[in-house]
Amino acid sequence: MPEFQFPGLNLAIATPFDDAGRIDYSRLEHNIERYLAAGVRSFLLSSGTGMHVYLSKEESEGLIKRGARIVNGRAKVIAQTSALLVEDVVERTARARDAGAEGVMVLPPFFEGPTDDQDILDFYAEVARAGLPVIGYNVPQAVGVAITPELLTKLSEIPGFCAVKDSGGDLGKQAELVRTGKFVMNGADSLVPYALYAGCHGLIWGGANFAPKTCLSIVAAAANGNWVEVRELWKLLEPAMALISKGDYVQTVYAAAQLTGYGAGSPRKPLRGLSADRIPAVRQSLDTLIEREAM
């Protein structure tokens, strides 16, 4: 089996916006430099946490291009290139490749898309021909298409299809994917330590925006098989990861990142910043993380 290309923590970085709702590239550079200094060595640009669905095609491509330029080879760069039309996905993937991305994450066809396995296989095969490693994105509760163990096994036969990111939130089903022996990445923040123990090969983690140092520490402890340390670190992270998983995920991640010094402004409309009456609960969930991340 070849070596996995995107092990450990892949940060689904929040896209920063200014007060007018435009992408704030100055803040993007500032945050990327801080994450690099914290030890982050892989970024996912235009992620769900990065508000991909609320970026225009041109904005997403600009974000990927500028982000890759800022990283400048100091970390890996993955780009989300999901779109409704397969032709758009292929074009976005080719442009991400030319901008310096080393892989792409792509949703299966969504919004009344096909549910037949062969149609999904054909879709990913066409995307993979654009020339970048493709990470499938399993989030059935939002898309209506589930990547099953049987489908993952078939997808993994496509040259260029390298892994599936599972954000379904069901540890039992994720473990079934892992047992196929194919590469699986966890995308459900509240499952991180359990997913690592189950054998996930990597993490695409939005919650790491507000606690990158602690998140990297838990990944390192798991890699060393130090599960006692993993549990102790997870005690620090669990309250916040549980909170963001209860709803208003993106808004809560943006609010928490502001409190730990990785502010990205407010989410873009139609989302709004978290209401003031909910900030104390976010602050309480972070507890010692604020001080720990500032060290």
pLDDT tens figures, 242-279: 999 998 999 999 999 999 999 999 999 999 999 999 99
Residue 203 falls inside a structural domain: yes
Residue 3 falls inside a structural domain: no
Residue 190 falls inside a structural domain: yes
Residue span of the structural domain in which 197 resides: 8-294
Q: What is the mean pLDDT of residues 63-80?
A: 98
Residue 2 falls inside a structural domain: no
- Count of domains forming the chain: 1
Which residue in the block uniquely carries the two structure tokens 């459900």?
188
Structure tokens at 124: 């990913």
Residue 83 falls inside a structural domain: yes
Q: What is the mean pLDDT of residues 183-194?
A: 97
Please tell me the predicted confidence (pLDDT) of residue 1. Answer: 62
> What mean pLDDT is reported for the chain?
95
Residue 102 falls inside a structural domain: yes
CATH number at residue 194: 3.20.20.70
pLDDT tens figures, 171-182: 999 999 999 999
Residue 46 falls inside a structural domain: yes
Residue 283 falls inside a structural domain: yes
For 11, the enclosing helix (H) or strand (E) is: strand 8-12
φ, ψ (nearest 5 deg) of residue 56: -70, 165
Q: In angstroms, rounded to a whole number, what is the distance separating the alpha carbons of residues 92 and 83? A: 9
Burial class (CB in 10 A: 0-12, 13-18, 19+), 20: exposed
In this predicted structure, the answer to whether residue 113 has a pLDDT above a threshold of 80 is no
In this predicted structure, the answer to whether residue 295 has a pLDDT above a threshold of 90 is no
When pLDDT is cut at 50, 70 and 90, the band that residue 145 belongs to is confident
Positive or negative, the CA dihedral 48, 209, 25, 104 is negative
Positive or negative, the CA dihedral 33, 36, 42, 44 is negative
